[in-house]
Structure 1
């Protein structure tokens, strides 16, 4: 009887592992296809061979400028920003055991946005300085939310309410900064605030690429502890997990990716919010959701940018399309949680 039970458990785990691998491979292939589409499609559709020759360093008349200057930076920005938003959002949602506890709702994205707008509109600093300010502001906002939410005992519900309040305050600061901005800087700031891949430059994307390459593996390694944190503080501690240390590493890595991505592309709405739940629905339970969430985020950003460019007569920034997807999902989630008594 014991051997039969163990065999069934192993068989179930193998099924879940295969499903996890299939989903990740499928999402990776989808992201690669969308990346190729972003390189090929535009006002002019170039043959695959010419695009490949351009990427290999050969100068092809008319193709080299469009691919290397416009399409490749746009694709790289969407790919890495999507991974950053997806992993960061999933980390917060899993760690705090609430799908509403994501950087968009908690105000962390708004904190990074305020710092970035100060750098763009007030100080008129370089992109690298804006990135540094954005990271520091994101960390400071996260610390402030935790400080106000801590109280006598930690409460996820209190943290979400505090985050919503701080987000409202930061949103008013964003409105004020847009009001005092000069006429020359406002179009750039407004385009950035909507979440856009327009004007991306490879040189300016180096901090984003480096941060994702460094922080994403850290979150993936510590991601196996997220399932324990999802059980609750007492259960995780009783299982031997150093919760404070793990939580600190996950928060610092996630906020760094989130802030750099926000500084590079603007606050692309709802990607951090949608990626985790979609990935969890695809993968199921039993294995880490970090990698699938990052891949879902990349697919969302790349697909939304293609839709924004080609599906309508007017071209829309990627943040407008993701906002159209995320808002109904947020309402659905609120209704469902209210029926379950989770709110």
Structure 2
């Protein structure tokens, strides 16, 4: 195996290679990777910010623990009381916020890349509402304790999200303006918005049928709360993130090809409908399980890919960058709700307060582009 670092050769003019302005390439045997130093630095900075907020989330609480002491406990030190607070009480919550945020950011990046629309996120398309309806139904019908609440809610949320995605996909299937049969991004977004409103009405109806205790628990869950998470919740969230990450990274080239348009993608040999179904299915799994664990955390899947795209300056929504930004948004919202704001608010309220103005910004920006074109 040979390892070399040299600039990527551009097109040749009369047999003379032109390397001016070309990015350097890292070659490891038959593998060649284009080096983008600025992108690597931005991703490293996002990872460092996520780690810092993760430690601050553990340090924040009723009894504040200095950041240095948190690092000491995580490395195996500290007193018995500090280890209980950090490892048993606060670490599962911080890890869940980190994993849920990454799963939502990655799910949003997949849907926005496939549908070529910055508004195409699981919470805008109704996937989150479908998962919420499934989980709320289990909570109300099965009670707030026992096996139904512990294991049934994530499974019901996953089923609700998948059924919603299938319904949207089937209703959006039709003939495009070019004459091809399939799913178009605009049609899918419009149908998703309509189903989202219908599913939200279903959630409200189920809550009205619940007793007072279950209704209060459901209302808290619908705001996206981390107050009741534990180690049992962390396992399905981590598994969902692993599935979405493996599918997304394994299909990264296919996802890049899907951004080029139908004709170009088909000329590259990509099976458009099957690849779309696979990637959307992975996105639904991540968003549904995240919703089942902490409730609907609004606007993270919408905003994270767009923020990452602007920070990394990529033509499409970056996968790793979107996951990191999603983790930063959820963990940062948890830190802000417990340290900066006067009340310990659910993270969903904090992210919605940020996501609402960001949605208006996207709409204004899209309207200006449409006017100029």
| TM-score (ref. length: structure 2) | 0.86
Residue of structure 2 aligned with 1:207, choices 236, 259, 276: 236
3-state SS in 2 of match to 1:336: helix
**Alpha-carbon distance in structure 1 between the residues aligned to 2:58 and 2:344:** 17
Partner of 2:170: 147
SS of aligned partner of 1:315? coil
For 1:134, the equivalent position in structure 2 comes to 157
Given that 1:16 and 1:286 are in contact with CA atoms closer than 8 Å, whether structure 2 keeps it comes out as no
- Aligned match of 1:178 in 171, 192, 207? 207
The DSSP-based 3-state class of the residue aligned with 1:8 is: coil
Residue among 37, 41, 46 paired with 1:22: 41
| Whole-angstrom distance in 1 between the partners of 2:244 and 2:203 | 28
C-alpha contact (below 8 Å) 2:96/2:233 kept by paired residues: no
After superposition, the Cα gap between the structure-2 partners of 1:58 and 1:186, relative to the gap in structure 1 and judged at 3 Å, is farther
How big is the shift at 1:51? Answer: 3.7
- The structure that is helix-richer by fraction is 1
**Is the 8 Å Cα contact of residues 128 and 207 (structure 1) preserved in structure 2?**
no
Which structure is richer in relative contact order (CA contacts within 8 A, separation 6 or more)?
A: 1
Contact kept? 2:107, 2:244, Cα under 8 Å: no
The alpha-carbon deviation at position 20 of structure 1 amounts to: 1.7
Structure 1 residues 103, 39: closer, same or farther in 2, change over 3 A?
Answer: same
CA shift, 1:241, in A, is 1.6
1:185–1:56: structure 2 CA closer, same or farther, 3 Å change rule?
A: farther
Distance 1:55 1:16 in 2: 34
Match of 1:102 among 107, 113, 121: 121
- 1:63 is aligned to 82
1:11 offset after TM fit, Å?
A: 5.3
Alpha-carbon separation, structure 2, partners of 1:287 and 1:326: 20
Find the aligned partners of 1:316 and 1:52 in 2 and give their Cα distance.
26
Q: Tell me the secondary structure at the aligned position of residue 23 of structure 2.
A: helix
Name the CA distance, whole Å, in 1 between partners of 2:70 and 2:175.
60
Counterparts of 2:214 and 2:75, CA distance in 1: 36
Residue by residue over 1:76-122, the C-alpha shift from the partner in whole angstroms, topping out at 9 and shown as x without a partner, is 11000001000000110011000011111111110000001001112
Task: Quote the Cα distance in structure 2 between the aligned partners of 1:127 and 1:102.
Answer: 27
Q: Secondary structure of the equivalent of 2:162? A: helix
In the alignment, which of 2, 23, 29 is matched to residue 10 of structure 1?
Answer: 23
The higher radius of gyration belongs to 2
Alignment of 1:147-166 (within 5 A): 147-153=170-176, 154-166=183-195
TM-score, normalized by length of structure 1?
A: 0.93
State the Cα deviation string for residues 213-272 of structure 1 (Å, max 9, x = none): 233122122123222101112211111222233222211211111111110111101000
Unaligned runs of 5+ in 1: none
Unaligned runs of 5+ in 2: 1-11, 27-32, 177-182
The number of residues matched between the two structures is 343
| Partners of 2:78 and 2:65 in 1: CA distance | 14
- 2: CA distance between counterparts of 1:84 and 1:68? 23
Pick the aligned partner of 1:282 from 307, 311, 336.
311
SS of the aligned residue for 1:249 comes to helix
Q: Which has the higher strand share?
A: 2
